[in-house]
Structures are given as structure tokens and as C-alpha cells.
Structure 1
Amino acid sequence: MGSLPFAARVASAATDKLKIGVIGSGRIGGTLGGLWVKAGHEVMFSSLDLEHDKALAAKLGRNARAGTPREAAAFGELLLIAVPYSALPGIGKDLGTLIRGKVVIDPSNPIVARDGEIAKWAREKGAGLASAELLPGARIVRAFNAIGYARMAVAHQQSERIGMPMASDDAKAVAVASRLVREIGYEPVLIGGLAMGKHLIPGTPLAGEHTPERIRQIAATLN
């Protein structure tokens, strides 16, 4: 389905939709969740501002709804957790039983200036392995980490296919996440397991937009 135009991908997805819970409906979560709504999936948005989420859902239409983070975690077959990295420990603690066993797309980046000591720890450990420790039992796919949200919104309009580097230890989770990546206009490129997630943060060679072939070339030089 990756070679189909956006309208065709939307039509195809409508017959095989997922329930997606978005925890953190800011720029990244709101953008990706909105694109998945347009692709035919049911999406529940959540954050610390329920009124914001209700307004977002109303704008997006009947496949969108709003709830609390706990409700979104229970609703989603797949979860997108797009929050400041310092919020991940609390999410893992408060929602752990609801997250365990589910595919979790992890775009959250450890930013030292914003997140403090936990960001330093995550960068030393590697963001992929750190997220797995903070969200125990989640089937994590690290993706959407170093491309701006505004570019994500128009990926399906690009004439040249742009790659989306991903890292995960779970092949089935990668397959589900890859479908969602393709539906919004990117070509998924698995660069390795969660240990390679340390390279999926801003400021690394894989940051920014690259063709799938270039991502593979860059990834081959990393360890």
C-alpha cells in the first residue's frame, strides 16, 4: 500500500481500521493522530488538557474522540505516547497495566535542557532501551523522533519518497507501525533493535529527512 496515493491509502484503511490511543496530543501527537483519523482509523486523544482534546476531536470528525490518558491507554490497540521525556516514568507507573503487551510508538526525545537528569540518563543508556525500561512490557517501536511535526503533516505531498527510520526488537510491532508510517506518506526503514534507538534523536546523522536508501547507508555506519 506504500506506493498508493494518499486518497487511495485512506480508502484502503477505512476497511481495516485500528483503534489508536494518543497520549500527549500536542504538536506531534495531534499531527500524527489527525493524519491517522484521515486515514480511516479511530483515534482517542488525551493529554493534561481534556478541553483541548475535545476541541481537537470535534475538528477532526466522527473517527476522533477525547478522553483521559487512562481512557486512551485502554481504548487503543496501539498507542502513540508523545510527551516530554520526563513524563514517561509517571506514565509507566500510572498506566503500566494498560500499556503492557501493546504496541507503543515512541517519538519522545530526551532533551536535557527540558527534561533534566532523566534525559542525561536516557542519552547515556540509549533512548530506545531507556523507553523500554520506563514502559515495561510495552512493545516499543521508536519512530517519528527527528522530523518536525509540520513536515510530517505534508509528507504525503512529497514527490520523492522520504524514509522514516525506526528501531524495535519486536517484528510484529514493526509491521503494525510500518503500516501507519506508510499511510501518512513515509517509507519505514528499520535500522535495528531498540539499542539503535540511541541514534533516533535530534542532532544525530539520521535526523532530518532522507531517502530510504540514504537512511540505510547512514545506519550501516552506526553501532
Structure 2
Amino acid sequence: MRIGILGSGLMADALGGQWVRAGHEVMVGGRDRLKSADLAGRIGASSGSLLEASAFGEVTLLAVPAEAVSEVLTGGPPGRFAGRTVLDCTNAVIPGDFTLAVPAMAEQVAQLAPDAHVVKAFNLAPDTVWQDAPCTFEGEPLGVPFCGDDEAANEQVAVLIRALGCTPVKAGALVRARLLEATAALAIGLWVDGADTRSLFPPKAAAFGTVHP
């Protein structure tokens, strides 16, 4: 798969590097061309401008700070994301009180790129988790929830999740992405306070009862 990455920070590094190692073709494009070229060289990708990266592949990873999303998505010709899958991994979390600066970031992305197929994923864990992928916890691979409205785009993202050795978890339509974003804000605050978020949810059988044939 051909993947254009908008951004040259830690998430671009972690996810882009994993996808290159999995055999995908990646182009990194950031606001700082030198930084983008340096990252591309380190992970074995090609580099270009934001416009070149947005036009490069079937999937475009949006990996810039939340406050830069509008500038990055609107700073080019209209319709440049038409028919493309835009993978949004951003979190608009306010440091300190760990609340959301924007209640529905993925929906804003969809408004800024109305012809794209937006899918929310990879926002519930920091870059270090993706750098270390594949990850297993208690013998099970890490589940990665994703939200999107277009089935073909969802399947592309599921392929990219599996490329990291993780399990895709379909979490519903894009309108439910705001729940993933709120979950990220909650989890980050708990992690900072030293809590283990994996201990917060009971197994399915305990939550809903064991189903017998």
C-alpha cells in the first residue's frame, strides 16, 4: 500500500517506520522539509512536501498537532483528498487537566476534507507503544479500535493495524470517534497519575455473562 504521512514527529516516525518494515511504500511530508527528509531517511521512506505527501498514496496519515490540523488540511488545492482514506491519529488533549480542547476532532477533520474517507485510529497509545510493536499483553496482541463510515477505508486501516501485529477492533461509525478521543483524554490522565487502565474493564464474560449454546 502507498501511504502519505502528513507530519514528521514521533507518531509519524513510529507508524511510518513500522509500515515501511512491513513492506508498504511511505512518503513523509511535513511543514519542515529538512525534518521530513531526515525522518524519511531514518525509516527508509521517501520525502516530499505536504502537498506531495497528501497526493502520494491510497491512505494519508494525519500526524500533526491538533492545532495544526486546519492549516495542513486547507493549505492546498480543494479536493486534494477526494476519494482518499485520511487516517486521523490526533488528540486534542489539554495538558494538566486532561480534558478535550475540541470535542470531536475526527469530525472536524471530515469537515475540513469533505471528499475524504476519514478513519480514526492509533490515538489511544503513545508513539513508544507503536515503536515497540508487535505488543502483547497477557498473551494477547494489542487491540486497536477504529471508527469510520466507509467500509473500504476501514479495511485499509485494518490492514495497517495488522501490519503492526495488532488486532483491529471495529468501534463503529465516525461519529463514535469522539468517544475514542474522550477515552484517550481519560487514559492519559490516569497514566500520569500512575493508574493501570487495563485493570478498569472486566472481561466480556464477566460484564455480560457467559453465553451457553
Calculate the TM-score normalised by the size of structure 2: 0.79
Structure 1 residues 35 and 112, CA gap change in structure 2 (3 angstroms): same
Partner of residue 110, structure 2: 132
Q: Secondary structure at the match of 1:99?
A: coil
Q: Secondary structure at the match of 1:166?
A: strand
**Bigger share in helix:** 1
Equivalent residue runs for 1:101-140 within 5 Å: 101-112=83-94, 120=101, 122-123=102-103, 126-140=104-118
Residue 55 of structure 1 and its aligned partner are, at CA, apart by 1.9
Matched, 1:23 2:6: yes
Contact 2:85 2:117 in 1 (8 A): yes
Alignment match of 2:171 (pick from 179, 182, 191): 191
Specify the code of the residue in structure 2 equivalent to 1:199. L
Q: Over residues 39-95 of structure 1, what are the superposed CA-to-partner deviations in whole Å (9 max), with x where a residue is unaligned? A: 11111011122112222222233xx11111001011122100111112222223223
Partner of residue 24, structure 2: 41
Partner of residue 141, structure 2: 161
Residue 155 of structure 1 and its aligned partner are, at CA, apart by 2.3
Structure 2 Cα separation of the partners of residues 203 and 109 of structure 1: 8
Aligned Cα root-mean-square deviation (Å):
2.8
Q: Which protein is bigger by CA-based radius of gyration? A: 2
Q: Over residues 166-187 of structure 1, what are the superposed CA-to-partner deviations in whole Å (9 max), with x where a residue is unaligned? A: 1111111000100000111211
Alignment match of 2:43 (pick from 56, 60, 63): 60
Structure 1 Cα separation of the partners of residues 79 and 47 of structure 2: 21
Residue 108 of structure 1 and its aligned partner are, at CA, apart by 1.0
Give every structure 1 segment of 4 or more consecutive aligned residues whose post-TM-superposition deviation is greater than 4 Å. Answer: 205-210, 213-217
Unaligned runs of 5+ in 2: 192-196, 209-213
Structure 1 residues 156 and 113, CA gap change in structure 2 (3 angstroms): closer
Residue 131 of structure 1 and its aligned partner are, at CA, apart by 2.0
Residue 107 of structure 1 and its aligned partner are, at CA, apart by 0.3
How many aligned positions are there?
191
Unaligned runs of 5+ in 1: 1-17
Structure 1 residues 215 and 20, CA gap change in structure 2 (3 angstroms): farther
Calculate the TM-score normalised by the size of structure 1: 0.76
Matched, 1:94 2:75: yes
Structure 1 residues 104 and 215, CA gap change in structure 2 (3 angstroms): farther
Alignment match of 1:149 (pick from 117, 127, 147): 127
Contact 1:23 1:79 in 2 (8 A): yes
Specify the code of the residue in structure 2 equivalent to 1:94. G
